Chains A and B, each alone.
Chain A
Amino acid sequence: EIVLTQSPATLSLSPGERVTLSCRASQRPYINYLSWYQQKPGQAPRLLIYSTSSASNRATGVPDRFSASGSGTDFTLTISRLEPEDFAVYYCQQYSVFGQGTKVEIK
């Protein structure tokens, strides 16, 4: 089974900074796109990016500062400019597999 490894475990950043979160697959995924979620303490995960067989797309209501890219075994979620509400844990996912998460905390 594929394993998704996210790095780093924690990022300490300031509002306004650009952030790139990494998700590496242990083998080339069958589908070349991942989903990404944001989770804040005490809340359910929120879908940011969903993936079909041919593309990744922002979920409804997700600001365009969030974008996803990747190919092969390396995938990224980019937040172009961190807003105060973006400090949270981020997970990548494909089918039944989740990454272990990256926490974005305030520096």
Chain B
Amino acid sequence: EVQLVESGGGLVQPGGSLRLSCAASGFTFSNYWMSWVRQAPGKGLEWVANIKDDGSVQYHADSVKGRFTISRDNAKNSLYLQMDTLRAGDTAVYYCAREIPSTTSSFDYWGQGTLVSVSS
């Protein structure tokens, strides 16, 4: 059974940092591109970043470029999101999601999400 379990969310002050993790199981993690997608309270979905199956290529949304960094450790079946210089507008539930190969980044499995709250 495919499982994605996020952790690392919490309350942080503006300007602070947080590192999210996503533990993957039930599939060959190293074969898949992975993404982070976030959802602010009461709002829609926003793609944040994705990373190639071998970790060699990463893309970030303009809204987080230069502040967030996606990475992965295929030996640990884990995906990460390092979030620095956090702002109130980054408050959201952060989901990790698996991309179906050879699609237009269709996400077939999602974690349950981890809540990041940025507030003083």
Report A's interface with B, CB cutoff 8 A: 31, 33-35, 37, 39, 44-47, 50-53, 59-60, 91, 93-101
Contact = CB atoms under 8 A, between A and B. Distances in A.
21 contacts: A35-B107, A44-B95, A44-B110, A44-B113, A45-B95, A45-B110, A47-B106, A50-B100, A50-B103, A51-B106, A52-B104, A53-B104, A91-B45, A93-B104, A93-B105, A95-B105, A96-B50, A98-B44, A98-B47, A99-B44, A101-B44
Interface range for B: 20 to 34
Contact of B107 (A45, A53, A101): A45
B74 interface: no
Nearest to B93: A44
Interface string B22-48: 000000000000000100000011110
A5 to B, nearest CB: 12
B118 to A, nearest CB: 21
Given A98-B44, A98-B47, A44 B112 contact: yes
Contact of A35 (B95, B103, B110): B103
Contact of B111 (A44, A46, A50, A52): A44
Given A50-B108, A96-B59, A45 B103 contact: no
B61 interface: yes
